[in-house]
A = this chain, B = another copy of it.
Amino acid sequence: MQSMKLLVDKIKNEGRTIGNDIVKVDGFINHQMDIAFMEELGREFRRRFDEIEVDLILTVEASGIAIACTTAPSFGYAPVVFAKKTAPNTLTEDYYSAEARSFTKGIISNLRVAKKFIEPDNKVLIIDDFLAHGESARALAQIVEKAGAEVMGIGVVIEKMFQGGGKQLRDMGYHVESLAMIEKIENGEIAFV
């Protein structure tokens, strides 16, 4: 496993660290977004998951939506579904749900996906911007499995290895691909694999 050079350079040039836990990429991924760059990340996911069949891409609002959208073209425009963290009055049908703690917001969310959007025969690629403690990805995988569908892979833009979520998911048998893998953050310096 290796980090994607283009992404590492972009994080080094435009990213910022906060303490030894947080890397901010709000200039190109999760506040302001560089769509051409994110399409390139989507093509890299396709190269890394080159042999898997995918007919559904699953992510979670809000910051997973953009990277899922820019990844879809590289997977034959598979439908993209995003799990909701709140239940709007338009989510009236039955849904699958699973709990996830947000590391950056300090709250527990109940992720929800309407049942009609995951069929038991779906082959699902889970996509997200960050993998830290792995709470979101694990909750999304639970939702897929509650539907009787199959998790074909988990693709994230940035994995913070020191928070352990990636290792846990791999130990559970999931195929996890992270485009940038951060071993540690120390004194504002980011150490990539």
Contact = CB atoms under 8 A, between A and B. Distances in A.
Contacts of A33: 69, 72, 79-82
A contact face: mostly helix, strand, loop, or mixed: mixed
A18 B86 CA distance: 19
A92 B16 CA distance: 11
Nearest to A33: B80
A5 interface: no
Interface string A71-86: 0110001011110101
Query: Size band of the A side of the interface?
Result: 35 or more
Interface string A101-130: 000111000000110010000000000000
Interface in A86-100: 86, 88-92
A34 interface: yes
Contact of A81 (B32, B38, B70, B84): B32
A69 B117 contact: no
B26 A114 contact: yes
A105 B89 contact: yes
A38 to B, nearest CB: 8
A62 interface: yes
Given A65-B62, A69-B66, A91 B31 contact: yes
Nearest to A24: B90
Interface of A: 18, 22, 24, 26-27, 31-36, 38, 61-62, 65-66, 69-70, 72-73, 77, 79-82, 84, 86, 88-92, 104-106, 113-114, 117
